[in-house]
Structure 1
């Protein structure tokens, strides 16, 4: 019975990935539009942002505060390392799909070392040995394949994305070791723990968000994604301002 339920769940996940793949084709605008209008769905996105912010205020953040209060630092680090090890598995697969052999080698080395010597990822042995992660995801892979970014979209509960990164998120979630190694209940328990752990790590950043929170988060997300898909090189939006500053002799 459990096997049948799991089979149906996997089929549903496959269907969801197919729907997402269709969306990226239908919703990705022409290049000129994508460059001139990052957020054409702002009205919808702001409504979803308000919903997410309310959920964070009354549910996610309080749970994260409690989690942060009761979890010792060493335990928090161990939990974070385990989830990072799962991400490295996705990372090595995406690096291979991108033809980034050096990145694939780095992430493979990290998974092998941290899973074995690091006791299933609890300890980040690879970083201690100087083997740094090649940061990537399937949204990055799609960008390498020439898929357009598409409009900015705020997803209910999952937060800021673009059409392309939303599809990447769905594919990465489907391919994650959490979904392949565990039954549904443990898998969703782990995913919930991951969300709480990530939110706890952001508690100290809450006061850094100034002005219009929606715009602040949107712009920060788009800059971070741009840096990722350009292998760490984000477009410098302030170069023109700096030229004016220097020409004025200030």
Structure 2
């Protein structure tokens, strides 16, 4: 359904302004630098992350891996609450706050999704979506070392969010950020490697998938599931 909505939206945009739509969709002024960083990230993916992901999945029981993923997802609820509030979506913000409060207590620091069992489900939002909602341009496409695809707007939003978190939570926040990043990378590595190695032009395919993914998120507030960004 999400893919159909996205296809319709892209088609409508192209019909409305063919030349401008194509230019906006594929413009990549930093492509030479991005391709070099993409090559570096691919070497890290193949040489480090894929073997580590295999070890992680073979040695850590499913129930424990799911608990870790739940705990990390719980830490994102305050971001969803803040982003939703900035967009005027106070209903989603309220659900995110309730989920964080319930899962952080009854759910044992988020290991269990107790709020979900109560029927409380928030729509994931981030600061990039909040900036998009207020008309901030996405800027050029970026590939960030060890991180992957982004845009200038998204990277700026992420940096500002981390800086704000550090000012509130102190340097201990880095441990949570690094842990979340490591687990997320291990979870995504097999699918990302498969996507990369089955694409004729892996860089162009990754750019296309990421930009469509983020633009769909900005357009309707829903993160679109793709082969590149699976939800497990």
- TM-score w.r.t. the length of structure 2 is 0.77
Q: Which runs of 5+ in 2 are unaligned?
A: 1-19, 225-232
Larger radius of gyration: 1
One of 183, 186, 191 as aligned partner of 2:177: 191
| Equivalent in the alignment of 1:207 | 194
RMSD: 2.5
Asked if 1 retains the 8 angstrom alpha-carbon contact of 2:53 and 2:190, the reply is no
SS of structure 2 residue aligned to 1:202? helix
- TM-score w.r.t. the length of structure 1 is 0.72
What are the superposed Cα offsets for residues 47-87 of structure 1, whole Å, 9 maximum, x if unpaired? 01011111222223322222222111111111111111110
The alignment of Structure 1 onto Structure 2 pairs a total of residues equal to: 202
Change (3 A) 1:57 1:36: closer
Asked if 1 retains the 8 angstrom alpha-carbon contact of 2:123 and 2:222, the reply is no
| Equivalent in the alignment of 2:209 | 220
Asked if 1 retains the 8 angstrom alpha-carbon contact of 2:124 and 2:222, the reply is no
| Equivalent in the alignment of 2:139 | 150
One of 78, 99, 119 as aligned partner of 2:108: 119
Change (3 A) 1:180 1:70: farther
Q: Which runs of 5+ in 1 are unaligned?
A: 1-30, 236-250
Alignment of 1:73-222 (within 5 A): 73-176=62-165, 180-181=168-169, 183-184=171-172, 187-205=173-191, 206-209=193-196, 210-211=198-199, 212-222=201-211
Change (3 A) 1:179 1:126: farther
Distance 1:100 1:175 in 2: 21
Change (3 A) 1:234 1:108: closer
Post-superposition shift, 1:179?
7.5
